[in-house]
A and B are shown apart, each in its own frame.
Chain A
Amino acid sequence: MEAGGAARKVVFRAEGLTKIYRMGEIEVSALAGIDLQLFEGEFVVMLGPSGSGKSTLLNILGGLDRPSGGRIHYCERELTEFDDAALTRYRREHVGFVFQFYNLIPSLTARENVALVTEIASHPMAPEDALALVGLEDRLHHFPAQLSGGEQQRVAIARAVAKRPAVLLCDEPTGALDVGTGIRVLEALARTNEELGTTVVIITHNAVIGGMADRVLHLSDGRIQRDERNARRVAAAELRW
């Protein structure tokens, strides 16, 4: 599945993105000028050490944060001009998030956690289907406390994809998991990407995961240092770390 360049639709286009945090009296430059295009259906892994700016970039892509400078477009619309309400709508309709610490609602079952999102989205899939996609069709009525860490993370993925988002943003999705469980989670993400054509962006400092991506972006000091395209995507099951 070689990227066809001009033939593929651009989902995100960032130009000269900067982000400066003011922490007390010092200014920290989290992003120091990012230019980037992400394409429809692409599986992207961003690699970088702590403080490289990858989380900041992900938050800005997801409409959780705003850049200090530069512009960012989502499908021809300029995100940087969205107000709070528009950003909320954007997250509701177009973006799925997966976090390191799952962030499931403990008082809702797996199915209900997914339904939480499908109830407010425009064209959702059935919660059961989303859970089947991550292999949890037989855990529908379990509460988070009754699920393993890997299962909880897969519920989080099902919750993120159930609205049929254009893009799935994952922040260290395997960070809290052991290898075997982590691989099952990555398989679920790869399946979402292949079956639904969702653009997937994973940030991690685990370089091994880069093997399963179409593209690997290396960040450090708030800049993209390298933009590599993999000749061949390795199946998640073959990864080891």
Chain B
Amino acid sequence: MRALDRKLLRDLWHMRGQLTAIALVILCGVATYVMFIAIHQSLRATQDDYYRQYRFADVFVTLKRAPETLRERIAALPGVAAVETRVVAGVTIDIDGFPDPVTGTVVSLPDEGAPALNALFLRQGRMVDPYASDEIVVGAAFAEAHGLAPGDTLRMVINGRRTVLTIVGLALSPEFIYEIRPGSIFPDYQRYGVMWMGREAFGRALDMDGAFNSVMLRLAPGAGERELIDRIDRLLEPYGGQGAYGREDQRSHRFLTEELAGLETMSRIFPAIFLGVAMFLLNVVVNRLIGTQRIQVATLKAFGYGDAAVTWHYLKLVFVIVLLGAAGGLALGAWFARFMADIYQGFFHFPYLTFTMSPRLGVEAVAASLAAATLGTVAALRKVARLQPAAALQPEPPPRYRRSAVERFGIMGRLSQPSRMILRHLSRHPVKSAITVLGIAAAASITMSARFQGATVDHMMNVQFQLAQREDIAVTFVEPTSLRARHELAALDGVRAVEVQRSVPVRIRAGHRSHRTAIVGLEPGGEIQRVLDAELRPITPPEEGILLTDYLGTILGVGPGDMVLVEVLEGARPERELVVAGLVREYAGLSGYMERNALNRFMREGPAISGAWLAVDDSAGLPRIYRKLKDSPRIAGVTLRKEGMRGYEQMMQESMLFYTFVASLFSIIIAFGVVYNSARIALTERSRELASLRVLGFTRGEISYILLGELAVLTLLALPLGAAAGWLLCWAIARGLQSELYRVPLILNADAYAFAAATILVAAAASGFILRRRLDRLDLIAVLKTRD
């Protein structure tokens, strides 16, 4: 090995504590990058593969009823490569020993051959036998939630008729990767399931013999989706078509897309912070190293090493640290990604997960770290290149100090000399002091982001259930029903209050922007179901105009007073311009709200209702009430949303636990890395001074005050800045994660700030402790005998 490389190894060993801290920060950066990108790419690859293998459709339409003969005409439309017609309907299910109401969606399967589109992945058992009328395939998530297996029977109400079916298989579908009840935002596998029956048997049960109410299409290569949607809508209009939509409006696909986008955001935010901090650390550490090795650099040059050779020597040192950190980061990131993949399997139902980590990802991560490190150290390395050996071999003059700005205000008079030393040292190196403060603040901000999500979910749940959706039971009718149903519901024993609603599928347009959603007609003065303004105060739905979810307003680019065009997608499909009367604060989903009578008028119908919300006297009476409801043929579904949400919240909290753990761990590494390195450098820079003071008779405690006092000042300055940076980071995360599905509000309670401050203070105290031990071992004689 060449002598210079030997020096490199020894320098590395000598500075191992500091360099390890930097390598760890780089490790965190690379690990988060690899984790987010690998999981993103894996989900993406799995999605693509799954869609292709199981023939996920491009365009979807729901309609009232059309004869099977129409299929040929649909297939003949230009741009259609494949058609699949089917029957889809909601059912009510009975599970022994499970008192809550359970609903499901049953989808028909062709009796002969596999579906042309949206084929099933059979996890267990077999498909339904052709023309069998008593067999069903159940979605794997639902089966798992209830411990169902092939051979078990399932009792359900289809079209008002009780049926007992035998489960023959468990399956997954690309259509239901994210499996949620229509109109819901969060999954609840216990109370909602997807299942499949033979077309003939299910059609007969629904009185849909030889007819269909759902169509899926595959686009021909090069065909335009927009044009096809227009053609199919025209064709299906007489059959009660509710408007065709592409994949981007397909719920499961949409959720998955939003989640992938969220991952992409995270993959940008976190690695950028970690690499930024690593850059800062390398900057100060390498600067200091080169400062102490000035004479060595000069000597090497005097001996005939070229500028480039000496500079490369130091750059190699940087690269070794980066490569060590990056290697660890790649391994840890891959491991985390696998772990996250398991968590994602709980949310999204893929038959398999193609875990991919492309070599390119590794190369990118390493290249980004090397680039950041080089950028961070370029100033120091330039100093090496420019150093004139003759000048460097002369002793350096003492550094120039001035009275600090604070002193010029005249408040220094009472300060002791050690306190003056602290202040002057800080103000002599304003840039270095500032970046130390920034580094600590960055650590604090990451710590805050670790605490942010828990509080946020609590807040969202609280707003959702305490302020907005306060019903005990939600009832949906099979078809729009007369207002009389309200009295029937109110007459049920144990029901305290009833509110009814009308909900209508619509497309809302503003200029060239549009969105498919539903308008819910609310009762004025409703106490069970309320909509809230930005300050979370209830708003009464107006007699004229429409209220929009705030984020829907953002998407459509409209605010109060603007006009939107509302196209209804059912019934007589009326179309009219409405004024936006206000915006509604909602954290999940996008909807429009109107006063119910106004919506009925808009629909040119009588006082029809689509569902109701019930409040009960006593939750013990719930099972009895919904047993009665279930027996009513007009009721399509009964849901206890609160129960489902609790399950979902638990799932969220569990997955967040992992995130919180990783973020906390990483933030501690950063906090410690920054504080320890700053302190360690201060020690190197000032050991001579401190040794002088020891010789003059200062005690260990007194000299520690000077060094640790400086650390304390920097740490305390960093805390408020860290709080601000943390707020900003959480804001960026919340913004990055906002989607049509949910918006994460920026909720930072005292707990988040306190946790961040405590983490930083513990890291600072630990660094201080290590430093104090080093100070105790300060070799007075050796330090004083050498020229600086």
* A and B together in one complex: yes
Question: Which residues of A pack against B, CB within 8 Å?
Answer: 55, 59, 62, 64-65, 85, 88-93, 95, 97, 99, 101, 103-108, 112-113, 115-117, 119-121, 143-145, 152, 159, 163
Within 8 Å CB of B785, what residues of A? 55
In the complex, are the beta carbons of A107 and B688 less than 8 A apart?
A: no
Given contact pairs A104-B398, A119-B417, A145-B401, A92 touches B695 in the complex (Cβ within 8 A): no
Asked if B420 is an interface residue, CB under 8 A from chain A, the answer is yes
Within the complex, what minimum Cβ distance (angstroms) separates B695 from chain A? 5
Asked if B775 is an interface residue, CB under 8 A from chain A, the answer is no
Within the complex, what minimum Cβ distance (angstroms) separates B365 from chain A? 42
Given contact pairs A64-B781, A88-B699, A103-B692, A144 touches B417 in the complex (Cβ within 8 A): no
> A116 CA to B689 CA in the complex, in Å?
12
In the complex, are the beta carbons of A92 and B698 less than 8 A apart?
A: yes
In the complex, are the beta carbons of A99 and B401 less than 8 A apart?
A: no
Within 8 Å CB of A55, what residues of B? 785
In the complex, are the beta carbons of A145 and B696 less than 8 A apart?
A: no
Indicate which residue in B416, B689, B695, B787 contacts A97 across the interface (CB closer than 8 Å): B695
Within 8 Å CB of A103, what residues of B? 688-689, 691-692, 695, 784
Asked if B421 is an interface residue, CB under 8 A from chain A, the answer is yes
In the complex, are the beta carbons of B420 and A120 less than 8 A apart?
A: no
Given contact pairs A59-B781, A64-B781, A106 touches B399 in the complex (Cβ within 8 A): yes
| Most chain A beta carbons < 10 A, residue from B416, B688, B696, B781 | B696
Asked if B6 is an interface residue, CB under 8 A from chain A, the answer is no
- Closest residue on chain B to residue A62 by CB atoms: B695
Within 8 Å CB of A92, what residues of B? 696-698
Within the complex, what minimum Cβ distance (angstroms) separates B707 from chain A? 13
Within 8 Å CB of B702, what residues of A? 120
- Closest residue on chain B to residue A95 by CB atoms: B697
In the complex, are the beta carbons of A117 and B398 less than 8 A apart?
A: no
> A144 CA to B424 CA in the complex, in Å?
14
Closest 10 CB pairs of A and B: A92-B697, A107-B424, A103-B692, A91-B697, A116-B417, A144-B398, A106-B398, A145-B400, A107-B401, A145-B398
Given contact pairs A116-B693, A119-B417, A99 touches B398 in the complex (Cβ within 8 A): no
In the complex, are the beta carbons of A93 and B397 less than 8 A apart?
A: no
Asked if B402 is an interface residue, CB under 8 A from chain A, the answer is yes
Could you name 28 residue pairs across A and B whose Cβ atoms are closer than 8 Å? A55-B785, A88-B698, A91-B694, A91-B695, A92-B698, A97-B695, A97-B696, A99-B784, A101-B788, A103-B689, A103-B691, A103-B784, A104-B692, A105-B421, A105-B693, A106-B400, A107-B420, A107-B424, A107-B425, A108-B417, A108-B420, A108-B421, A112-B417, A116-B417, A116-B696, A143-B398, A143-B400, A145-B401
Given contact pairs A103-B784, A108-B424, A119-B417, A88 touches B694 in the complex (Cβ within 8 A): yes
Tell me how many residues of B have a C-beta within 8 Å of chain A. 34
Asked if B780 is an interface residue, CB under 8 A from chain A, the answer is yes
Within the complex, what minimum Cβ distance (angstroms) separates B764 from chain A? 22
> A120 CA to B416 CA in the complex, in Å?
10
In the complex, are the beta carbons of A159 and B696 less than 8 A apart?
A: yes
In the complex, are the beta carbons of A101 and B787 less than 8 A apart?
A: yes
Within 8 Å CB of A152, what residues of B? 398
In the complex, are the beta carbons of A120 and B784 less than 8 A apart?
A: no
- Closest residue on chain A to residue B698 by CB atoms: A120
Within 8 A of A (CB), among B759-783: 780-781
> A152 CA to B786 CA in the complex, in Å?
17
> A145 CA to B398 CA in the complex, in Å?
5
Within the complex, what minimum Cβ distance (angstroms) separates B616 from chain A? 74
Asked if B486 is an interface residue, CB under 8 A from chain A, the answer is no
Within the complex, what minimum Cβ distance (angstroms) separates B127 from chain A? 80
In the complex, are the beta carbons of B692 and A107 less than 8 A apart?
A: no
Asked if B428 is an interface residue, CB under 8 A from chain A, the answer is yes
> A163 CA to B697 CA in the complex, in Å?
11
Question: Which residues of B pack against A, CB within 8 Å?
Answer: 397-402, 416-418, 420-421, 424-425, 428, 688-689, 691-700, 702, 780-781, 784-788
In the complex, are the beta carbons of B692 and A105 less than 8 A apart?
A: yes
Within 8 Å CB of B420, what residues of A? 107-108, 112
How many residue pairs link A and B with beta carbons under 8 A? The number is 90
> A106 CA to B780 CA in the complex, in Å?
18
Indicate which residue in A93, A143, A145 contacts B697 across the interface (CB closer than 8 Å): A93
Within 8 Å CB of B784, what residues of A? 99, 101, 103
In the complex, are the beta carbons of B781 and A115 less than 8 A apart?
A: no
- Closest residue on chain B to residue A89 by CB atoms: B697
> A145 CA to B401 CA in the complex, in Å?
7
> A163 CA to B787 CA in the complex, in Å?
26
| Most chain A beta carbons < 10 A, residue from B417, B425, B702, B787 | B417
> A16 CA to B285 CA in the complex, in Å?
47
Other A-B contacts than A88-B698, A103-B691, A159-B696, 12 sampled, CB-CB below 8 A, are A85-B699, A91-B694, A91-B697, A92-B698, A99-B784, A106-B689, A107-B421, A108-B401, A112-B417, A113-B417, A121-B697, A144-B401
Within the complex, what minimum Cβ distance (angstroms) separates A143 from chain B? 5
Within 8 Å CB of A119, what residues of B? 416-417
Within 8 Å CB of A159, what residues of B? 696
> A163 CA to B695 CA in the complex, in Å?
13
In the complex, are the beta carbons of A143 and B781 less than 8 A apart?
A: no
In the complex, are the beta carbons of A115 and B688 less than 8 A apart?
A: no
Within 8 Å CB of A117, what residues of B? 696-697
Within 8 Å CB of A59, what residues of B? 781
Within 8 Å CB of A64, what residues of B? 695, 780-781
> A44 CA to B113 CA in the complex, in Å?
112
In the complex, are the beta carbons of B697 and A106 less than 8 A apart?
A: no
In the complex, are the beta carbons of A115 and B697 less than 8 A apart?
A: no
| Most chain B beta carbons < 10 A, residue from A89, A93, A97 | A97
In the complex, are the beta carbons of A65 and B696 less than 8 A apart?
A: no
Within 8 Å CB of B694, what residues of A? 88, 91
- Closest residue on chain A to residue B690 by CB atoms: A105
Within the complex, what minimum Cβ distance (angstroms) separates B706 from chain A? 9
Given contact pairs A103-B784, A108-B417, A143 touches B696 in the complex (Cβ within 8 A): no
Within 8 Å CB of B402, what residues of A? 143
> A65 CA to B424 CA in the complex, in Å?
32
In the complex, are the beta carbons of A145 and B399 less than 8 A apart?
A: yes
Within the complex, what minimum Cβ distance (angstroms) separates A99 from chain B? 6
Within 8 Å CB of B417, what residues of A? 105, 108, 112-113, 115-116, 119
In the complex, are the beta carbons of A91 and B696 less than 8 A apart?
A: yes
| Most chain B beta carbons < 10 A, residue from A95, A105, A116, A121 | A105
Within 8 Å CB of A97, what residues of B? 695-696
- Closest residue on chain A to residue B786 by CB atoms: A101
Within 8 Å CB of B424, what residues of A? 107-108
Within the complex, what minimum Cβ distance (angstroms) separates B527 from chain A? 69
Within 8 Å CB of B416, what residues of A? 119
Within 8 Å CB of B698, what residues of A? 88, 92, 120
Within the complex, what minimum Cβ distance (angstroms) separates B663 from chain A? 39
Within 8 Å CB of B692, what residues of A? 103-105
> A64 CA to B693 CA in the complex, in Å?
12
> A144 CA to B688 CA in the complex, in Å?
15
Given contact pairs A106-B398, A107-B424, A112-B417, A88 touches B781 in the complex (Cβ within 8 A): no
In the complex, are the beta carbons of A88 and B401 less than 8 A apart?
A: no
| Most chain A beta carbons < 10 A, residue from B401, B402, B695, B788 | B695
In the complex, are the beta carbons of B401 and A106 less than 8 A apart?
A: yes
Within 8 Å CB of B397, what residues of A? 145
> A89 CA to B692 CA in the complex, in Å?
15
